[in-house]
Amino acid sequence: MKDTFKHKGLRQKLVNVLKDKGITDINVLNAIGKIPRHLFMDSGFLDHAYQDKAFPIGADQTISQPYTVAFQSELLQVKREDKILEIGTGSGYQTAVLCELGAKVYSIERQQELFKKTSKFLPKLGYRARKFVFGDGYKGMVDEAPFDSVIVTAGAPFVPKPLLGQLKIGGRLVIPVGDNVQIMTLFIRKGSKEFEKHEFGEFRFVPLLENKN
């Protein structure tokens, strides 16, 4: 588990790439500049860790592209101490970004292999989610609701109702919606039954699957 000057230099370059692509939230950029993304990937991919690309992390899943992580994190408008539900822990990289932003993170993963690996690995780096749950994110985390925000990091064929229902008033759900291609979508809860919806263009994610595995 080494982080070197070379890695730090590559990270700074990645931060500049993200700025050029339009990411402006300084806290998000600082988090990405700080987190050793190469440690979240298999050794075979270490050289690719600071390219703005998604890569395999095992169990047919991917670590999201840095731009996508930055874009979703920016849409959440995270404030310190925000209580955030993450669906799709995966490698834990997005979880680490949320922790760096000062959020209290509750994260769900449906692949047991990834769940075990990541829930052990993140604390070693000093990132402590409030809860890691092995389960089905379609249902949210009812016993911890309501949340300031919910982030979904897999492509959802539809918007799961429980995720909207578990938002505080004023809370934000950031979710890529669609089958082969997803539209990044932000819902803001305006009242108990009122939601504002904003759409932000196309992204590609692995699918949000039902039931745990």
61/149 with CB nearer ligand SAH? 61
Residues of span 53-72 touching ligand SAH by CB under 6 A: 57, 61-64
**Known catalytic membership, residue 64:** yes
- The catalytic residue among 64, 73, 91, 119 is 64
171/182 with CB nearer ligand SAH? 182
CB atoms within 10 A of CB 206: 15
Which position among 109, 163, 167, 186 is part of the footprint of ligand SAH (CB under 6 A)? Answer: 109
In the complex, minimum distance from the CB of residue 135 to ligand SAH, in angstroms, rounded to a whole number: 7
Contacts of 26 (CB under 8 A, 6+ apart): none
SS3 call for 121: helix
Give whole-number Cα distances, 111 to 62, 96, 97, 133, 140, in Å: 12, 19, 21, 11, 16
Neighbour-count burial of 135, counting CB atoms closer than 10 A to its CB (0-12 exposed, 13-18 middle, 19+ buried): middle
Per CB under 6 A, 171 contacts ligand SAH: no
Q: Which span (6-14, 134-142, 161-169, 181-189) binds ligand SAH, by CB under 6 A?
A: 134-142
Contacts of 88 (CB under 8 A, 6+ apart): 108, 109, 110, 137, 152, 153, 154, 208
| Contact pattern for ligand SAH over residues 174 through 213, marking x by CB under 6 A | --------------------------------x-xx----
Residues of span 73-102 touching ligand SAH by CB under 6 A: 87-88, 90-91, 93-94
Crossing angle between the packed helical segments 66-76 and 5-20, to the nearest 10 degrees = 60
Quote the tokens at residue 199: 């759409």
Q: Which residues bind ligand SAH (CB under 6 A)?
A: 57, 61-64, 87-88, 90-91, 93-94, 108-111, 114, 136-138, 153-154, 206, 208-209
